[in-house]
Chain A
Amino acid sequence: MDIKLAGIHHSYGEREVLRDINLDIASGQIVCIVGPSGCGKSTLLRLLGGLERPTLGDILQVGDVPEGCLNPLTYVFQDFALLPWRTVAGNISLVLEDHGIGQAKSQAIIKDVLARCKLSDFADVFPKQISGGMKQRVAIARALAVNPAVMLMDEPLSALDSQTRELLMDDIVSLWSRKPFTAVYVTHNLAEAVRLGHRIVVLSRRPGEIREIVTIDKPLSERRHADPDLEQQQNNLWQMMRDEAEAADAELINA
């Protein structure tokens, strides 16, 4: 299943946040969206998953939802959004309970995603007992449990320290390599974008418009930390964004 954005405009009252966004998200690819702060990249993600309605334009699902997919558009949130009163397994079970799949099958799914995210030993602990990195692994496992057609990842690593971030990037790459998934990955961190993105969409400052779409051909599994090619790409992206970011930084918040 692909996603097509056609002529998206979005405003909050007088304040225009997104302008004329046209974008195709092809299945099996990770599309990173980067841009200066306040450029509307998180808003774009909320529009994509139907948590908000665009002021103008259409967001289309192209093609059929794949077989066995319980929730086609599934988010991974920056703040993890785990229920603190449920255990790790309980948090994953939460998103399976409304689908009327049997107890045995949902147990099997939970077991499988926990294993894929290296969480098998943590099934019965509460979120407050585990580190931020583990919490985000739980959120990713929860997203995988519903077998999404597209994962919508909203700065998933931004609340983590840089070492944990490296570890999780490796995990995301190995998850993708074993079973490619489609994802839209919003981040302000260019290093994440060049590590994980097949395509990188650069937005301008508010109102966000697409300035450029960069394609990185190097396979995900061959991208390493401090890879010179990637550093070069990252540098180019930064040159592209620098002035915009500076101008965005100097803007008044509610002007």
Chain B
Amino acid sequence: MPENSISEKSKSGHSIRASGSCLASKQQPVPFRGGGFVPVSRPWMGFVVFFVLIVFLEAGTRIGFISALTIPKPSDVLNTFVELYSSGLLWTHLVPSLMRFVIGAAIGTLLGVSLGIAIGLFAYVRAGLVPLIAALFPVPKIALLPLFVIWFGIDEASKYALIAFGTFTPMVVATYGAVDNVDRGLIRMGQSFNLSWFSIVRKIVLPGAMAGILSGLRIALAIAIILLVAAEMLGAEYGIGAYILQAGSLYDLERLFTGVAILSILGVLVNSAIGLVEKHVLRWRG
């Protein structure tokens, strides 16, 4: 016992001396290495970027280090927009565009989500259709517009079809991916409580896949706006696309940029609308 305590003492004495000398010579805080890699909400930052960009362009075109031929003055674009609004032409162009966007995208997303769920749930549908979807996805839909004109006529139907087709493929891919990721344990639970097949799909599969479906919707609706303009450039009297095309052929940069700005605003609005829907539908994620 005494021997033991002696050796204990000498050992601890040693270690105290060692740490003591360490303390005396140098002290510094433990460096922080965590943080970052977490999405944090900074809502004003987007506005700051837009504001800085517009101020830069305005200053550049006024002072002259940006030539008037390369880019119009933002203030002139704003004036053109105000003119467009007060002449009432804004609505003449915007309303048909919005109609095409809403109807085409609604058809495409509904069909896409339904088929995506079917692929996610049925092995035969998956085996049969996934290769077909993979073949259709990379086809530039704009190239098919002449075909749609022959099938659906030169009027609105061919434009709906183009937009619907363009939103359909990304929605199918996003939806079946999301259905694949639904927790199988929850589905087993539903089966173990004798829930009907339809109940399982509606109450377990669909809500479980909703996050993935909504993020697919963001991409699909951006594609819808691109295709809307493409369709209108090829054959429409009114519409934002037609307006941009006219301005472009007259080399009227102010009007061209007004049209482009309207599209960008539309994009931002659609994006924040989906953000609101996400916030509501996925509020359980907190």
| Residues on A facing B (Cβ under 8 Å) | 49, 51, 71, 73-75, 77, 79, 81, 83-86, 94-95, 97-98, 126, 128-129, 142, 146
- Say yes or no: A71-B185 contact (C-beta < 8 A), given A83-B203, A85-B207: no
Select which of A81, A97, A128 is within 8 A of B286 by beta carbon: A128
The residue in chain B whose Cβ has the minimal distance to the Cβ of A145 is B193
The answer to whether A83 and B204 have CB atoms under 8 Å apart is yes
Task: State the 8 A-B residue pairs at the shortest beta-carbon distance, nearest first.
Answer: A81-B189, A95-B193, A85-B284, A75-B192, A85-B207, A126-B284, A81-B185, A71-B194
Q: For the complex, what is the distance from the CA of A77 to the CA of B186, rounded to whole Å? A: 10
- Say yes or no: A84-B199 contact (C-beta < 8 A), given A51-B188, A74-B193: no
The residue in chain B whose Cβ has the minimal distance to the Cβ of A50 is B192
- Residues in B whose Cβ lies below 8 Å from that of A142: 193
Residue-wise, chain B 206-238 has the 8 Å CB interface mask toward A (1 for contact) of 011010000000000000000000000000000
Select which of B189, B195, B203, B210 is within 8 A of A77 by beta carbon: B189
The answer to whether A71 and B284 have CB atoms under 8 Å apart is no
Q: For the complex, what is the distance from the CA of A51 to the CA of B191, rounded to whole Å? A: 8
Q: B196 in the interface, Cβ–Cβ < 8 Å?
A: yes
The answer to whether B207 and A98 have CB atoms under 8 Å apart is no
The answer to whether A49 and B192 have CB atoms under 8 Å apart is yes
Q: For the complex, what is the distance from the CA of A84 to the CA of B207, rounded to whole Å? A: 10
Shortest Cβ distance from A134 into chain B, in angstroms?
A: 16
Q: For the complex, what is the distance from the CA of A85 to the CA of B210, rounded to whole Å? A: 11
Q: B26 in the interface, Cβ–Cβ < 8 Å?
A: no
Q: For the complex, what is the distance from the CA of A21 to the CA of B210, rounded to whole Å? A: 43
- Residues in B whose Cβ lies below 8 Å from that of A74: 192-193
The answer to whether A97 and B199 have CB atoms under 8 Å apart is yes
Q: For the complex, what is the distance from the CA of A98 to the CA of B210, rounded to whole Å? A: 22
Query: Could you pull out 9 A-B pairs where Cβ atoms are within 8 angstroms?
Result: A49-B192, A51-B192, A74-B192, A74-B193, A85-B207, A85-B284, A94-B193, A126-B284, A129-B286
The answer to whether A77 and B185 have CB atoms under 8 Å apart is yes
Q: B285 in the interface, Cβ–Cβ < 8 Å?
A: yes
The answer to whether B186 and A98 have CB atoms under 8 Å apart is no
- Residues in A whose Cβ lies below 8 Å from that of B189: 75, 77, 81
The answer to whether A81 and B186 have CB atoms under 8 Å apart is yes
Residue among B186, B194, B195, B207 with the highest chain A CB neighbour number at 10 A: B194
The residue in chain A whose Cβ has the minimal distance to the Cβ of B194 is A71
Select which of B191, B194, B207, B285 is within 8 A of A83 by beta carbon: B207
- Residues in B whose Cβ lies below 8 Å from that of A85: 207-208, 210, 282, 284
Q: For the complex, what is the distance from the CA of A20 to the CA of B10, rounded to whole Å? A: 65
Q: For the complex, what is the distance from the CA of A182 to the CA of B195, rounded to whole Å? A: 22
Q: For the complex, what is the distance from the CA of A68 to the CA of B69, rounded to whole Å? A: 82
- Residues in B whose Cβ lies below 8 Å from that of A129: 286
The answer to whether B188 and A81 have CB atoms under 8 Å apart is yes
Shortest Cβ distance from B190 into chain A, in angstroms?
A: 8
- Residues in A whose Cβ lies below 8 Å from that of B282: 85
The answer to whether A94 and B185 have CB atoms under 8 Å apart is no
- Residues in B whose Cβ lies below 8 Å from that of A97: 199, 203
- Residues in A whose Cβ lies below 8 Å from that of B193: 71, 74, 94-95, 142, 146
Q: 12 more A-B contacts (CB under 8 A) besides A79-B185, A98-B194? A: A49-B192, A51-B188, A74-B193, A75-B189, A75-B192, A77-B188, A83-B203, A85-B207, A85-B282, A94-B203, A98-B195, A98-B196
Q: For the complex, what is the distance from the CA of A153 to the CA of B207, rounded to whole Å? A: 26
- Residues in B whose Cβ lies below 8 Å from that of A98: 194-196, 199
The residue in chain A whose Cβ has the minimal distance to the Cβ of B186 is A81
- Residues in A whose Cβ lies below 8 Å from that of B286: 126, 128-129
Shortest Cβ distance from B284 into chain A, in angstroms?
A: 4
The residue in chain B whose Cβ has the minimal distance to the Cβ of A128 is B286
The residue in chain A whose Cβ has the minimal distance to the Cβ of B199 is A98
The answer to whether B284 and A128 have CB atoms under 8 Å apart is yes
- CB contacts under 8 Å to A, within B158-191, are 185-186, 188-189, 191
Shortest Cβ distance from B226 into chain A, in angstroms?
A: 33
- Residues in A whose Cβ lies below 8 Å from that of B208: 85
Select which of A84, A86, A95 is within 8 A of B195 by beta carbon: A95
The answer to whether A84 and B192 have CB atoms under 8 Å apart is no
- Residues in A whose Cβ lies below 8 Å from that of B186: 81, 83
Shortest Cβ distance from A202 into chain B, in angstroms?
A: 26
Residue among B189, B199, B285 with the highest chain A CB neighbour number at 10 A: B189
- Residues in B whose Cβ lies below 8 Å from that of A49: 192
